[in-house]
Amino acid sequence: MTTSLLEQLEADIERLSLMDQLWLMERLAHRIRERARPTSFVPENDLIAMAHDSANQCELQQIDAEFAGTEADGLDSAP
């Protein structure tokens, strides 16, 4: 965005009432938070498919076998 456009926006905002400026700031903050939110959402159907995938199951079994020795570390798995 060019400096002159930003300066024009600032001048336009300055002409707004204090209440309108506050509303605009809150709206901008909301939009920025929405855009900054991670987009790593995985739909439930995809998670179910991953759980049934044989390659994933095999890898999870290998991880379980790798950490089997730590199961006797004295920590309970239940809260």
State the SS3 of 49-75.
HHHHCHHHHHHHHHHHHHCHHHHHCCC
How far is it, in rounded angstroms, from Cα 53 to Cα 61?
A: 12
Around Cβ 21, how many Cβ atoms within 10 Å?
A: 13
What is the model's pLDDT at position 75? 65
How far is it, in rounded angstroms, from Cα 51 to Cα 49?
A: 5
pTM (two decimals): 0.45
What's the full length of the chain, in residues? Answer: 79
Whether residue 3 has pLDDT greater than 80: yes
pLDDT digits (tens, 9 = 90+) for 26-58: 999 999 998 888 777 778 888 889 889 999 999
